[in-house]
Amino acid sequence: MSPEIFKENWELVVGLEVHAELATTTKLFCGCLNQFGNEPNTNVCPVCLGLPGSLPVVNEKAVYFAMQLGRALNCTVNRSVFARKNYFYPDMPKDFQISQYDLPTNSDGRLDLPNGITIGIERAHIEEDTGKTTHIGTSGRISGADYSLVDYNRAGVPLIEIVTKPEIHTIDQAKAYVSELRAILLTLGVSDAKMEEGSIRVDANVSIRDIGETNLRTRCEIKNVNSLKSLGRAIDYEANRHIGLYENGESPKQETRHWDENAGRTRSGRSKEDAEDYRYFPEPDLVPLNPSKETITKIDQELPELPAERRKELLDLSGAKPSDIALLVERNHDSFATETITSGGSPNQVIKHLVNNLPDGLGQLTPQTLAQLAQMEEEAKITNTQAKKILEELVEQGGNPSNIAAESGFEAIDTSEVENLVDELITSHSDEWERFCAGEKKVQGFFVGQIMKATSGQADGKLINQILNERSAKK
Ligand SMILES: [Zn+2]
């Protein structure tokens, strides 16, 4: 595949690290509730407060969720070992975080984007979340704060950190990756995946290189990105900053940077630690996770149908545009579409209505009524405009499309009747007709308008145009 050009001769290289909170009832190593929005420091105990003498016990459900996600991402599920990641910060009362290091639960997977591009997954490991600090003062940061508040409700909440290979080369791919990952998390039910509540958090490793260059240059890790829009803006800003430095004969230094949404720029944070700075070592209070072959087989059997398979199914059935299909799967309307089409609705009409006319939900509509409506439209018993009106009624109150059509006076106008009207109009407006035949586009509207007027808008616009074209071809 030819490389994507980010700007002039530069190629963008992005790797994403997504932290997703697992939707367990309790925390990763204790029985405290895993719940967002409670009074600060109410879901805490000696284990998640790191009090001396307390011991962690791993949450089986969290491990199951992590392995399920691993399999959904085509990873190998390995024998894995928890490790202590040592560093000091007030939101982490133990002074270390229990994570995984050289032996993660999942490795070597991939995620297929709706447009066919595959992004490699390096690993997806289990770790505990930290507490939440709020720095009071004008800076909003720990330096310069008057004082800081800390809430340990989040400390010990189970996380899965999914790390891609540096294989993302456009901003759209980065966004598509996060949306697809979200869709998978939601389908599995392993995370509520709410970006706005911080259930998923994205860090982006950004670097830039010459087109055709194969080595990786210095990257910066951008934190604090909490929407897809910010992700795009942050990557764009950072990539351009790197290009600016290289073009000036300088180069970026490896560091963590924070995205400032209001200023629309990244700011330097701490210089990036290397793994050795964390003095990782195996967690002595926990045994390795070593799933049997049977466990993995069971997980595979229990995997629900994933978004990519759902898209493929609807594509095979309808032949619709991939972007329309992706949208319907995202809205969870794909099985409705499948059922409507198998009930006899023409794929074109069904997909068109679901994509364009039903973004706010289906209400009282059923696959059978939509199929019937699509048939009536396909057989030109009603016009597009009439179909839309009937659809509105079906969504609001349900009912039978043919009855609604009859009640609304949407009687089909016979093709021969429209033909007669067109012929009369051609005779009475010969000047306009000459101009139409000479290819003057705007007269077409005149003819369609006149017929619509004569039939109180009940004629089918497509049919009128078809007759006009036939007549002019014969001339
Ligand atoms: Zn606890």
Of 127, 133, 152, nearest to 34 (Cα)?
Answer: 152
Q: Does 81 map to a domain?
A: yes
Rounded Cα–Cα distance for residues 188 and 71 (Å): 11
- Same domain for 284 and 349, yes or no, is no
State whether residue 261 is helix, strand or coil: coil
pLDDT band at 141 (very low <50, low <70, confident <90, very high): confident
Is 115 among the domain residues?
yes
User: Ligand 1 centroid vs 398 CA: distance in angstroms?
Assistant: 50
Residues 428 and 348 in one domain: no
Residue 3, domain member (yes or no): no
Cα gap 142→124, rounded to integer Å:
30
Vertex 293: Cα angle to 288 and 297 (nearest 5): 120
Give the least confident one: 8-22, 175-189, 374-388, 391-405: 374-388
Mean pLDDT over all residues of the chain?
A: 92
* 47 and 159 belong to one structural domain: yes
CA dihedral 391, 311, 320, 338 (to 10 degrees): -40
Predicted confidence band at 78 (pLDDT cuts at 50, 70, 90)?
very high
> In this structure, is residue 222 part of a structural domain?
yes
Residues 332 and 289 in one domain: no
Q: Are 376 and 345 in contact (CB under 8 A)?
A: no
Per-residue model confidence as pLDDT tens digits over 176-218 = 999 999 999 999 999 999 888 889 999 999 999 999 999 999 9
CA of 35 from ligand 1 middle (Å) equals: 12
Which of 407, 434, 453 is where one domain is finished? 407
pLDDT reading at 43 higher than 90: yes
Q: Are residues 295 and 314 in the same domain?
A: no
Residue 392 shares a structural domain with residue 437: no
Output the domain CATH number for residue 449: 1.10.10.410
One domain, residues 226 and 353 = no
Q: What distance in Å separates the CA atoms of residue 283 and residue 100, rounded to the nearest whole number?
A: 9
Q: Are residues 157 and 269 in the same domain?
A: yes
Residue 231 lies in a domain: yes
- Pairing of the two strands 220-225 and 255-260: parallel
Count the Cβ atoms, other than its own, within 10 Å of residue 33.
Answer: 14
Q: pLDDT digit string (tens) for 272-327?
A: 667 678 999 999 999 999 999 999 999 999 999 999 999 999 999 999 998 899 88
Separation of CA 282 and ligand 1 centre (Å): 21
Boundary-marking domain end, from 247, 267, 302: 302
Distance 24 CA to ligand 1 centre (A): 13
**How close is the Cα of 56 to the center of ligand 1, in Å?**
9
- Asked if 444 contacts 438 with a C-beta cutoff of 8 angstroms, the reply is no
DSSP 120-157: EEEEEEEEE---EEEEESSS-SSTT-SEEEEEGGGTT-
Domain membership of residue 5 (yes or no) is no
pLDDT at 374: 94
The Å distance, Cα 258 to ligand 1 centre, comes to 30
Same domain, 198 and 347: no
Q: What is the extent of the structural domain holding 419?
A: 415-474
Query: Does 265 lie in the same domain as 372?
Result: no
Residue 2 in domain: no
- Domain tally, the chain: 3
In a domain, 4, yes or no: no
What is the per-residue pLDDT across 318-376, written as a single tens digit (0 to 9) for each? Answer: 999 988 998 899 888 999 999 999 999 999 999 999 999 998 889 999 999 999 999 99
Q: How far apart are CA 130 and CA 155, in angstroms?
A: 4
Domain boundary (283, 302, 321) is at 302
* Cα–Cα dist 155/38, whole Å: 13
- The confidence score (pLDDT) of residue 276 equals 73
Measure 342 CA to ligand 1 centroid, in angstroms: 51
123 CA distance to ligand 1 centroid (A)?
27
pLDDT bin (cut points 50, 70, 90) of residue 41 is very high
The CA 277 to ligand 1 mean position distance, Å, reads 27
Taking the centre of ligand 1 as the mean of its atom positions, its distance from the CA of residue 34, in whole angstroms, is 9
Rounded to the nearest angstrom, the distance between the alpha carbon of 53 and the centre of ligand 1 is 13
- How far is the centre of ligand 1, averaged over its atoms, from the C-alpha of 135 (Å)? 24
Answer yes or no: do 137 and 209 share one domain: yes
Distance 45 CA to ligand 1 centre (A): 4
Predicted confidence band at 142 (pLDDT cuts at 50, 70, 90)?
confident
CA of 106 to the centre of ligand 1 (A): 26
Q: What is the DSSP string of 76-102?
A: EE--B-EEEEE---TT-TTSEEEEE-S
180 plus 294 within the same structural domain: yes
